Every structure is written in C-alpha cells, then in structure tokens.
Structure 1
Amino acid sequence: MARLDASDLAQCLCRQAEAVCRHYLGAGRRQGNYWQVGDVRNTPGRSMFVRLKDSPKGPAGKFNDMATGEHGDLLDVIRESLGLIDFADVAEEARAFLSLRHPEPGPEEHHHRSTPAPSGSTEAARRLFAMGMPIAGTVAKTYLRKRGITALHGTDALRFHPRCYYRPDDGPSETWPALLARVTDLTGRQTGAHRTWLAPDGSGKAPVDTQRKAMGDLNGHGVRFGIGTDVQAAGEGIETILSLRSALPDLAAVAALSAAHLGALALPDTLRRLYVARDNGDAGEAMAAMLAARAEAVGIEAVVLVPTLGDFNDDLMAFGVEGLRAALRAQLLPQDVARLMALAA
C-alpha cells in the first residue's frame, strides 16, 4: 500500500477502530461504542476505554486509561501492545495491519472474542492455530527447506503466523514469524499447539531465548502427519518426523514434541507395528526404549530407528534424502521396505 505518514496512518486505523482493538487488545471486549480493557499493554481489566466511533466526546480511536491517566491513539495502542520502540517499526506494523482484510464481526464472533481464553489453555491453542495460514509461500516453508525438508505432503497440521507473540522472561512482548503445529489426540481433536519462532527471512530460528514453546494438553498427544495405518512411526521433534517422511513418504508419523512426551504417547488400537525414530543422547534413548516397551506390552511390534548423528534431521542435512533412505533401508523390517520405499527389497 502507499507509504502513509503518521497522521494518515492514524486516520486509516480509526476507520477500523474495532478491528484494531480486536487484533491488538484481544484481552478486552466491546462495551457499547467503546472497547474496554485493562491497559494499553493488553492486560485483562476494565480501566481503559478506546472510542470506536466518532462522538461529541471525541473522535474514534482515542483511548483513556482511568487508572493511570494514559491517553493516546491507535498508533500508541500498536506500539505499547507489541512493545515496539522505534516509530518506523510502529508504522510498518500499522501498514501491515491495514493491508489485511478485516470483516466486521457478526453477533456470534463478538461473543466469542469477548471472552479471552486462559493463557496456555487448549482453547487458546485452538484459537492460535485458527489464526494461522497455510505454509506455502511463507518463511515457514523457507525455514523447512533450509533444514533440508522439501517433501511437505500431508502437512495440514502445520500453519504459519507472520506476527506471533513471544513473551520473554523479562521485558516487553515481541512478535516474530512462527511455524505453528496442531497437537491432536487419537480421534483428531485438537488439544494443543506448538510454536517455533523464526527469523524474518526464514533462514533459521528467531534470536530469542526460548525458540520453541507448546501450549495446551500435550500428554499422550502429538502432531500427526499422513493417514494412520497399521504401521506408523513416532519421534520427538517435528523436523525429525518430517525428515523421516522425506525418505519414507508413505509412512504416517507423529511428533510427540519432547523425549518425555514420546515415552507417554498414546497408541491407537489399530496399530500393529511402530517405528520409533529416536534422537541420540541419554533422554532420547531412554524414552524411545520406554515407548517401544509399552508398545510391545500391548502386542504392537516395535522397532527403534537410530540416526547416525544427533537426530534424523541432522542426518538429512548431512547425507541428503538418498543417504538417509539408504540408512533407514537397513533398519526397516524386510516386509516394509517395498511398502514404505517403493524400492525393490
């Protein structure tokens, strides 16, 4: 869109005042012609009011905090809610917001958005994933390609968020691009979400202290790729599983997101053989062995796949798809070689 100055940006934002509030002050709710929230940093509460329509009391987009005396416009809302410092960053964020389409919410959406989901809850995870977009053409796809992962079939459990909140232990909240992953139970019901914050160009992960975080109910659940059959795989990380499926594209697999969660992964009744793609290291080895033992105890044949390096994504990056496929071929049971590799046994 055209490069607008501060006054023009503020006026454009005022014409979409409610959409701005819903986007940046989601902890609040509409009350008549005002948006009510705790403060300009999006704290739940009722002391701050943002005017949504022009009135004799003043123009749309202006806010007042009755508790602190703070006041300003919607550019200030963007700055404070995101913890931005430079006006150039505020203006860039405003331009990005204005370039998006923000339809007016219907009565049901007003009701839905007026009740913030508890932080870290399953409902918050569902809402976050619903805000994402397909990864095609995004920096999430760029990031995965940088990790050697080009086979992205059956990845509807992944989405991309261009400005996902990151809250450090101290300091203001930040926004970074993020790869989102949907965590589901055995019935396909979403129970959680996982975020991997990325560098803006997709060249790697974001330069933050904690680059991955999960939310919601993870115990026994995972991020699922492919259609489950009687033969499936399980591993810790998303990139580990996507690397495995780069070499074995017909193998349905689930990422448990950590070694501890791998050991506790729920197993479907239809499963007859489980390939456990372990990470090297004490925790990876122990939890893979635990899952394999649990599988064997209920009559599921278990085979632990061992990477040459730290994990299967390391192997993919070091040896390529053909090298990884050759290493896996030697570990698969004979009856699965042709089935999973489409190669002569």
Structure 2
Amino acid sequence: MTVPAHNDAVDAWIERAKGHSTINVALRLGFRPKGNAKSIGAEATGPCPRCGGVDRFSVKIKEGLWNCRGCGKGGGDAIGLARWVPHERTFYEAVEFITGEAKPDAAPASEEEKAAIAAKRAKEAAEIDKARAAEAQQQNQFREDERRRCRQLWEHGRPIAGTLVEAYLRHRGVGRIPEGAKLRFHPEMHLRHPSGPGGKVVWTGPAMLSPIAGNDGRFMGLHTTWLDPRLGTPAMPAIDENGKPTKGKLVFVSEDGEVLDVKRSRGTKAGGHLVLAPALDTIFGGPRRLVIGEGIETVLAVWITMVEAGADMRLTAFWSAIDLGNLGGKALESVFHPTLKRPDARGRMLRVRLPGPVPDVSRPERSIAIPETVREVLVLADGDSDRTQVEYTLARATARWARPDLIVRGAWPEEGGDFSDMRMRKVREREAA
C-alpha cells in the first residue's frame, strides 16, 4: 500500500474545516430548525436538508452530532454532514465546501475541470435553493392554516360581559373594561401538553382570548389565558400559600409534575401585540400616545388607575406585548449577566447569558413597530423579573423605536411585583376600608 506523503498545508486545511461547527454547516446546507435561538436549546430539529422530511433531522449543538431518522443516516462532525448533503461528496470536496478553499497541493485545474466544478457547484446551489423554497412554501402554508384556525377560535368566543373573564379582571382590580378592548371569553378551550397541535389535551376549560395584531393591524394569531373555574365561588381562596392575593389564573400540574404555563400564544407572535384600549379620538389618524407593557393584566391595571385619576385617555392606546422578549425584540447578541450563575450538568457554576441591550434590526417585521402618529411611548417595566433582563429589554425597545419626534419613557413598579400586583393590593385595601 502506498502511504501518501505528509503535507502540513493539507493537514492545516483539514483542521480548519474541523473547526467549523456542525450546526453552522447544516444552516449553510439549507437546514432550517424550528423555533429561535432561545428555544432551540441543546438540540435543533427540523426538516432534513437532504430528504426534506419534516421533524426528521436534528443536530446536537455542543456535541456536533447530526441525524436524520427518515434516511437512517447520521454522523459526528461537519465534514461528514457536508459529504452527505445535498448528495455524496468526496472527503476533500466536503472540506473545500466548508472552508471555501481549494486543496493546497492540488494541481492547477484545466479549463474542462474548472467548468465541471462550476457546474457541480451550481447544481448543488440550485438543489439547496429548491429545498429552501419548498420548505418556505410549507411553512407559509402552515402559518396560514394556523392563522385560520386561530381566527375561528376567536370568532367562536363570546363578549366578556357577565362571563368569567369579567370576573377575572375584576378580581385583578380592573372593575371596568376599556371601550374597544380586544378580549373575548371561550368556555371550553383545550390546553395541550406539550404545546402545539401534536400535544395531548390535558385540560379543557374557560379562557380569556385576545387576537395578536401585526404592525399593519392584520390578524396574526391568538393569545389565550386559562382561568380558574372556581373564581367567584367559595372554593376559590382569596389568599395563596405565600399570603398574596390569588391571581385567578388556572394552576395546572401535569402527570409528570410539571406546572404548565396557562398563557399560550398560537400563530405568529413575533412583532405582534394585543390591543387592550384603542385611542378613541383619531384626529391625528391614530393614537398620539402609547402605553405598552408585557401582560394584559399589567397594562389594564395602569389603564384603570389612570382613568380613575382623571387622565384624558382619548388620544392614548394601550397595548400588551405578550412577553418581555417580544417587547424588546431580538438582541444583536447575548451577553453575560453581571452577577447570575447557574450549575451545569456537572454541577459547575457558569455565568448566565441573556439577550443584550443592543437590538437586532435586520428583520423589522419581527419587532413591534410604533405608529407614526405616536409622539410619546410609556413602557411598563416588570418588577418581578430579573432587573438586568428588564433593563436590557427596555434598552432594546427604546433604541429600536428611536426617532426625533418620539419620546420613550420607562415606568417601574415596586420591587418584586408588577403594576397588576400593586393594583390588586390597593383595591383590596380600599375594599377593606
């Protein structure tokens, strides 16, 4: 057997290819994982970049392992993946693809060889583009189907007057509902675990609905809050185990002991908002002021408090951003938390990373936009979340919305709570007096 001569340049070239992460190479090959960077976690899953099978392909981020259950093919590095997608390559061809460099000791290619290589690469690029287009079409169709299902659920909802939604908001200290609030009641909404169409229905009961509106006002999806059916009855305790007023939301523990989130969003959430109180006077073509916060209860607590204080609300709109991540939008990069640490699987204390204060403005359609008519924005902070995380969220939102004719201010509740907690406590004190 002839042993090839050692070549330091070739070895270094191969090592450069090995230095590329499997997930990055998979993305270059057309892999589009479900979810976002925050939700992917240790493993990314999605359609296979070779066979296109939905939810068949996965990459373990740290280990670099990849696998397609449909094809029965897998491997442990980026080079092996590049050899397999979109069709079989040689080892050196895979290294060339990853590094973008020709093999260092390769003899100059003839014109015919150059043409063949160019044709091969063009064919590969066309196959990847075709697979991406098919996947995009499939995702768009799924989003449209999900939007249609969400709209049907919203249309089946009832006006909230006299329902558990009205009782729930009154329990939270909101004794009046804003005119034009996009809220409805549904008596039998399914709660699934895990969430999503494939999840098992673990509870069916009363819920508060609110449609998710896009920057253009278009219906994007549906936000659901499941309510405790005992609300308003003697079986509903007024005080929880921590001595605080009960929230009135459903508390549901799955069979495996997991406390389920009873606030869920379906359809498209990124860049969407919930309209809780539209501006009643549109002399300027839209709201002149905007109050925006994380949850429905927080925003309505501020609305009712301002109404009771005699504030003129005719030019002011009140929106819920649904959650902190959607309020601030995507960050340009993650940064280390200044103090927080958490143990890893080996028990080592590692610094926590969180979305930084600088916004990623590359996809504005996935971030909440402020109407052009608005001249002042009041952002409601959340006092029961990590202070640094909230500060970074507000910084991203402020930077994203910055324009010369707009003032953006933040309002902070008491430490350890939110504006809804403050409202509930003051209402209870007033009732007791």
Which band: TM-score by shorter chain? 0.5 to 0.7
Q: Does 1:259 align with 2:324?
A: yes
* CA drift at 1:175: 0.5
TM-score, normalising length: structure 1: 0.55
2:254 is the alignment partner of 1:229: no
**Residues 274 and 295 of structure 1 are in contact (CA less than 8 Å); yes or no, is this contact kept in structure 2?**
no
2:190–2:201 CA contact under 8 A, matched in 1: no
1:121 and 1:315, CA in 2 relative to 1: closer, same or farther beyond 3 A? same
Q: Which residue of 1 aligns with 2:151?
A: 126
Q: Kindly tell me: are residues 139 and 187 of structure 1, through their superposed partners in 2, closer, same or farther at Cα, counting changes over 3 Å?
A: same
2:210 equivalent in structure 1: 181
**Tell me, what secondary structure is at the counterpart of 1:160?**
strand
Confirm or deny that 1:206 pairs with 2:250.
yes
Please name the residue that 1:308 is paired with: 414
Which protein shows a greater Rg? 2
Q: Measure, in 1, the Cα distance between the counterparts of 2:390 and 2:291.
A: 15
Deviation at residue 171 of structure 1 after TM alignment: 5.4
8 Å Cα contact 1:256/1:262 also seen in 2: yes
For 2:379, which of 276, 290, 293 is the aligned residue?
Answer: 276
Q: Which amino acid aligns with 1:236?
A: E
> In 2, are the aligned partners of 1:120 and 1:215 still within 8 Å (CA)?
no
1:22 aligns with none
Match of 1:176, SS state, is: strand
- Distance, in Å, in 1 between the alignment partners of 2:321 and 2:154 is 17
Give me the whole-angstrom Cα distance separating, in 2, the residues matched to 1:270 and 1:131: 33
Q: Structure 1 residues 162, 120: closer, same or farther in 2, change over 3 A?
A: farther
Q: Structure 1 residues 119, 188: closer, same or farther in 2, change over 3 A?
A: closer
Residue aligned with 2:369, SS: coil
- Cα deviation, 1:282-316, whole Å, max 9, x if unaligned, reads 33232122212222246411111111142110111
Aligned alpha-carbon RMSD (Å) = 2.5
| Matched residue type, 1:144 | L
How high is the TM-score relative to the length of structure 2? 0.45
What percent identity do the matched residue pairs reach?
A: 31
Could you tell me how far apart the structure 2 residues matched to 1:267 and 1:184 are? 13
Are residues 232 and 321 of structure 1, via their aligned partners in 2, closer, same or farther at CA, if it must alter by over 3 Å? farther
Cross-structure match for 1:318 = 425
Q: Which runs of 5+ in 2 are unaligned?
A: 1-140, 237-247, 253-259, 280-285, 308-312, 330-367
Give the corresponding residue for 1:295.
401
Change (3 A) 1:313 1:155: farther
Mark the CA change 1:229 to 1:143 in structure 2 (over 3 Å): closer, same or farther: same
Task: Choose 132-141 or 149-158, whichever is displaced more.
Answer: 149-158
> How far off its partner does 1:266 sit?
1.3
When residues 298 and 139 of structure 1 are mapped into structure 2, their CA distance, relative to the original with a 3 A threshold, is: same
CA distance in 2, matches of 1:234, 1:166: 27
For residues 151-186 of structure 1, what are the alpha-carbon distances to aligned partners after superposition, in whole Å with 9 as ceiling and x for unaligned? 212253100000101112375442110000111123
Aligned equivalents of 1:269, 1:125: Cα separation in 2:
29
Classify 1:171/1:293 alpha carbon distance in 2 versus 1 (closer, same or farther; 3 Å): closer
Give the direction of change, closer, same or farther, for the CA distance of 1:130–1:315 in structure 2 (3 Å limit). Answer: same
Q: For the structure 1 residues 270 and 319, does the alpha-carbon distance in structure 2 shift closer, same or farther, using more than 3 Å as the test?
A: same
How far off is 1:317 after superposition? Answer: 1.3
Q: Which residue of 1 aligns with 2:172?
A: 147
Aligned length: 208
Alpha-carbon distance between aligned partners in 2 of 1:118 and 1:296, rounded to the nearest angstrom: 31
Moved more, 272-281 or 294-303: 294-303
The one-letter code of the counterpart of 1:175 is: T
Unmatched runs of 5 consecutive residues or more in structure 1: 1-115, 324-345
| CA distance, structure 2, for counterparts of residue 171 and residue 213 of structure 1 | 15
